[in-house]
Structure 1
Amino acid sequence: MNADQMLQEIREVNLSYLMLAQNLIRSDREQALFRLGISEETATLLSSLSPAQILKISSGNTLLCRMRVDDDLVWSLLTNHSKDGNDSVNRLHASILMAGRHQEAA
């Protein structure tokens, strides 16, 4: 993948992210705040963007969303595929840890 392709991919991700964020915020604000890991102020701003603003913002070369999972324990829980069938327990535990971090940030 060359640099131009990478920049185009970033722009597509930005556009998808902004459209998803706006839809989530408009349909269920509380869930959107949790799932996107954003503040009330950011949610208000995102929900008020016009389609033209979304296109303009998404056309930049900087990725607008970020990985919220920056904890080795959470990554371990998400990627650990155990033989004893505890995958759902691991995912639940990871979700609980990430929810706690969302509360700390709010």
Structure 2
Amino acid sequence: MNADQILTEIREANLSYLMLAQSLIRADREQALFRLGLNEETASMIALLTPAQMMKIAAGNTLLCKFRMDDELVWGLLTNHGKSAANDTTSRLHAAILMAGRHQEAA
């Protein structure tokens, strides 16, 4: 993949993210804040963006979203390294609880 392809992918991801975020915020603000890891101010700004503004913001070369699971414990739980499929649900629940707690700490 060359640099132009990477930039195109970033722009497409940005637009998809903004559209998803705006849709979630308008449908269920509290769930959107939790699932996207946004604060109230950012959610308010995204909710008010026009399609033209979203296109302009998405056209940048910086990825707008980021991974919130930035530690080994959460990634280990999500990928189930060394665990059976029977523990999959429990591991994902544990990861969700950890991430929810971190969301509350950040808020």
Which band: TM-score by shorter chain? Answer: over 0.9
Shift of 1:83: 2.1
Matches of residues 3-82 of structure 1 in structure 2 within 5 Å? 3-80=3-80, 82=83
Distance 1:80 1:70 in 2: 16
Question: TM-score w.r.t. structure 1 length?
Answer: 0.98
Matched pairs, number: 106
Runs of 4+ in 1 over 6 A off after TM superposition: none
The question of 1:94 aligning with 2:95 is answered yes
Distance 1:83 1:2 in 2: 39
Instruction: Summarize deviations over 1:20-67 as a string: whole Å, max 9, x none.
Output: 000000000000000000000000000000000000000000000000
One-letter amino acid of the structure 1 residue matched with residue 32 of structure 2: A
Identity, in percent, stands at 72
Structure 1 gap ranges (5+): none
CA RMSD across the alignment: 0.9
Structure 2 gap ranges (5+): none
- 3-state DSSP class of the match of 1:86? helix
Question: TM-score w.r.t. structure 2 length?
Answer: 0.97
